[in-house]
Chains A and B, each alone.
Chain A
Amino acid sequence: MAAVVFETIHASPGRRAVRRLARRAGAVFGFAVVVFFILIALLAPWLAPYDPVATSWSAVRAAPSAAHWFGADELGRDVLSRIIWGTRASILAGVVSVSISLALGVPIGMLTGYLGRWVDALISRVTDAMLACPFLILAIALAAFLGPSLTNAMIAIGISATPIFIRLTRAQVLAAKAEDYVEAARALGNPHLRIALRHILPNIVAPLIVQATLAIAAAVIAEASLSFLGLGQQPPAPSWGSMLNTARNYVDQAPWMAIWPGVSIFLLVLSFNLLGDGLRDALDPRHK
């Protein structure tokens, strides 16, 4: 008993957060499903039973069977293989878009919060302007002007989600700036860059991780939405969103074409949401 108490007191904040996360069934389920999808994306060439773009006239709109577990689409392509390869587009879109948002949003937010004055006023107004355009509509407009492709969709989603990270980072920096440890670092004569990177940044990482996890869920849905509209992954390359777009036309003849891509999007997004919620509770014990 005493050993357990000793370990709890002396465990690092990271380890304590992991322990709190592991106690939440939803977060553990979310984490497991995310890992499952990442493995599918990585092992797609070995897992997919067929070439995802290979057509077969004998299998056009074939119902699920031993040969095609999830059925076949309007060109006789194996739905399961396309789902497996489509995982790559979704995971890639989620991770790359959010990386773009973090790469842009965190430095700009830190600059805004740390410098304040006119820099803060100017960037805050630009952020307000971006937030005034609904996320998906801005992403559609950006993807339309950049041209339809998965890369441009990821850039469009990443830019559209950036203002949220600017706002969050700014608010966290403003709060951290008032803390004693930052005052102490300043009193010791540390340069601004060092204070920002060595003292403030490590202390604001937790809410950024939570937001990034939830933003991946939003980015996966956004990529599927753009691909559904024809602005993301281009045919014949597989993507869950574009598979649903095609499935819409065959819903009465081949409903399996619509079921599995949707289930995959739902499961992946749900898992990131559960993981994000769990991380929020684990990293911020005050939040319930």
Chain B
Amino acid sequence: MLKFVLQRLATVIPTLFFVSILIFGLQQLLPGDPAIALAGEERDPETIRYLREKFHLDEPLYVRYWYWASGVVRGDLGDSVRIQKPVTELIMEKLPVTIQLATMAMIIALVIGITAGVISAVKKDTWWDYGANVFALWGLSTPNFWLGILLILLFAVQLGWLPASGYVSPFEDLKANLAAMIMPAFVLGNAIAAVLMRHTRSAMLQVLSSDYVRTARAKGLDERVVVMKHALRNALIPVITLGALEFGTLLSGAVLTEQVFTIPGFGKLIVDAVFNRDYSVVQGVVLFTATVYITLNLLADVAYFLVNPRLRH
């Protein structure tokens, strides 16, 4: 076990190193003088001189990378030029909102995706199966910002059941918070539900044709017990670990969903930073996202190793 974790860690460290180079390299794409670009619309020579000194822009590239990377290792992702706040602080402020949205979206995706996947596999080549496959194609082909607009049109404008946009903290008013978050969470969960449905279907089909399921059926067990207790439990192992890999989709989707529903989360932070030309925030958010993604991947691998006895032998 320890050997496996150490082996995986050994690949994570160089990946993180290359991620840092890639994200640092983004700054080099800025046209012209980076100090002027970083200053955005602020053309005050004093600000430009300050930025040049702060980011060591007169130094060679590798020295600049060293200063930046050593700050990152200490948890310092730089400061927002616009808001005059450390990027880490900004991320930590916005993160809880996105975590709530992502968690609700994942719950919705798991419930819909796994249910549809199981039904589709158990009722293979029937209308249920075709329906579930159409649902998966719909989920994979619908841009979530469009789905968001359609839901606003239906549930906020036509029916008046839910608020069209905005955010209320759950600590202020839990009911209002859930009312504001349910549509964005559904929009975000929709595409992931489609992916999970496909994974569940293929894992279930494989498990349902295995010997132990045939034995369980031969013993005369109720079909519901065979499906839920014998098949689903084993089919879910790869589905849950693959679900962890959907984190990237979740965050990418959150950028658009938060924009549609005006939710002040992590996704909106990066979009606002792009338009304010707040490049430190953009770099910080991408680096943070990549690090969390790599960590989740590692945890998913370890979890898979732990729950799958065949890998341990």
Contacts and interface: CB of A to CB of B under 8 A. Distances in A.
Interface of A: 125-126, 128-130, 132-138, 140-147, 217, 221, 224-225, 228-231, 241, 244, 247-248, 251-252, 255, 258, 261-262, 265-266, 269-270, 273-274
Contacts, number: 142
Contacts of B22: 126, 129-130, 133
10 contacts: A125-B17, A125-B18, A128-B15, A140-B274, A141-B286, A145-B26, A247-B149, A258-B150, A270-B141, A273-B141
Contact of B31 (A141, A147, A261): A147
B270 interface: yes
Interface stretch (B45-53, B67-75, B111-119, B253-261): B253-261
Interface in B265-283: 270-271, 273-275, 277, 279, 282-283
Given A125-B14, A137-B255, A146-B29, A266 B141 contact: yes
A88 B153 CA distance: 28
A248 B149 contact: yes
Interface of B: 11, 14-19, 21-23, 26-27, 29-31, 137-138, 140-143, 145-146, 149-150, 152-153, 157, 164, 247-249, 251-253, 255-256, 259-260, 270-271, 273-275, 277, 279, 282-283, 285-286, 289-291, 293-294, 297
Contacts of A217: 141
Contacts of B11: 125, 128
A136 B26 contact: no
A228 B291 CA distance: 27
A244 B144 CA distance: 11
Contacts of B21: 129
B285 A262 contact: no
Nearest to A274: B137
B264 to A, nearest CB: 16
Given A144-B282, A274-B137, A133 B19 contact: yes
A79 to B, nearest CB: 15
Contact of A225 (B138, B143, B283, B290): B143
B189 to A, nearest CB: 16
A266 B139 CA distance: 10
> Which are the 4 A-B pairs with shortest beta-carbon distances?
A129-B18, A262-B146, A134-B248, A136-B252
A50 B147 CA distance: 28
Nearest to A269: B141
A138 B31 CA distance: 18
A252 B157 contact: yes
A144 B274 contact: yes
Nearest to B149: A258
Nearest to A255: B153
Contacts of A147: 31
Contact of A229 (B138, B271, B293): B271
A145 B145 contact: no
A13 B269 CA distance: 51
Contacts of B291: 132
B123 to A, nearest CB: 17
A112 B31 CA distance: 31
Nearest to A277: B137
Q: Which of A129, A244, A274 has the most CB of B within 10 A?
A: A129
Contacts of B290: 129, 132-133
Contacts of A252: 153, 157
Contacts of B152: 251
Contacts of A129: 15-19, 21-22, 290
Contacts of B252: 134-137
B18 A273 contact: no
A216 to B, nearest CB: 12
A228 B18 contact: no
A128 B248 CA distance: 13
A273 B137 contact: yes
Nearest to B252: A136
Given A125-B18, A144-B274, A228 B256 contact: yes
A142 B22 CA distance: 11
B251 A134 contact: yes
Given A258-B150, A273-B141, A137 B286 contact: yes
Given A229-B259, A247-B149, A137 B26 contact: no
Given A132-B19, A132-B290, A224 B149 contact: no
A129 B286 CA distance: 11
B149 to A, nearest CB: 5
B286 A138 contact: yes
Contacts of A224: 143
Q: Which of B16, B27, B143, B289 has the most CB of A within 10 A?
A: B143
Contacts of A145: 26-27, 29-30, 279, 282
A178 B157 CA distance: 61
Nearest to A144: B274
Q: Which of A125, A140, A217, A225 has the most CB of B within 10 A?
A: A140
A149 to B, nearest CB: 12
A224 B251 CA distance: 17
B249 A134 contact: yes
Contacts of A146: 29
A244 B289 contact: no
Contacts of B249: 134
B270 A225 contact: no
Q: Which of B11, B145, B260, B293 has the most CB of A within 10 A?
A: B145
Contacts of A269: 140-143
A136 B191 CA distance: 14
